[in-house]
Amino acid sequence: MTDYQLMIDSQPYDCMAPELNALRKAAANLYRRFNREEEEDEQLILLQALVGELAEGAFICPPFQCSYGRHISLGLGSFINMGATLLDNAPIRIGAGVMIGPNVQIYTAAHALDADERLAGVETALPVTIEDMVWIGGGAILLPGITIGREAIVGAGAVVSKDVPAGARVVGNPARILPPKQRL
């Protein structure tokens, strides 16, 4: 099995494998061109070439960075503000009507905890799912393997390490659920 297939299957893989380096370089070429492009029509063409799925009305503002791009799906009318970093070693599924603030980071990759394995490039990747009509505040960080439930709100700067239930509001580091009446 290739390192790419191991990565997609959420199995340990060599993150420095030549096939993965080549895919990351190709994605970097596209997102750098996207980030420099001034014409929105041309940006959209580059974005469509970069990400796996870009539904109607969905857009990502430059500057933007990702690992592979091909594992990102962005639902109908969803919007990612400037400065986003999406490490899409595993799928990042973003539903419809999602709003993501500036400088949000979404990570699917996790290095080995054992130092020798980590230095050898052992990594795993777990998907991140953001369901419909979620709002993620600026500077939030979403860690590997989590799901943000429908209509949830992630406060600015929150570090989300566990699933967020539908309709919940979370803040802080680590993110914690706010009581229903408490303001963000």
> Residue 44: its pLDDT value, please?
94
pLDDT tens for residues 128-179? 999 999 999 999 999 999 999 999 999 999 999 999 999 999 999 999 999 8
- Render the chain in DSSP notation, one character per residue: --HHHHHHTT--EETT-HHHHHHHHHHHHHHHHHHH---HHHHHHHHHHHSSEE-TT-EEPSSEEES-STTEEE-TT-EE-TTEEEE-SS-EEE-TT-EE-TT-EEE-EEE-SSHHHHHTTEEEE--EEE-TT-EE-TT-EE-TT-EEPTT-EE-TT-EE-S-B-TT-EEETTTTEEPPTT---
Quickly state the pLDDT bin for 112 (edges 50, 70, 90). Answer: confident
Catalytic residue among 24, 33, 111, 150: 111
Residues 6+ apart with CB under 8 A from 18: none
Which whole-number Å values give the CA distances from 54 to 32, 44, 128, in the listed order?
A: 18, 9, 17
Alpha carbons 21 and 143: distance in angstroms, whole number? 22
Quickly state the pLDDT bin for 10 (edges 50, 70, 90). Answer: very high
> Residue 182: its pLDDT value, please?
65
- Mean per-residue pLDDT of the chain: 96
Alpha carbons 22 and 20: distance in angstroms, whole number? 5
Alpha carbons 50 and 69: distance in angstroms, whole number? 5
The pTM for the full model equals: 0.94
Q: Is pLDDT at 184 greater than 70 in this prediction? A: no
Alpha carbons 112 and 12: distance in angstroms, whole number? 9
> Residue 83: its pLDDT value, please?
98
pLDDT tens for residues 82-104? 999 999 999 999 999 999 999 99
Q: Is pLDDT at 27 greater than 80 in this prediction? A: yes
Q: What are the tokens at 89?
A: 């070693």
Known active-site residue 111: yes
- The partner residues of 65 in beta bridges, in order of sequence, read 85
Four-way CATH pick for 3-176: 2.160.10.10, 3.40.630.30, 3.30.420.40, 2.60.40.420: 2.160.10.10
What percentage of the chain reaches a pLDDT higher than 70? 98
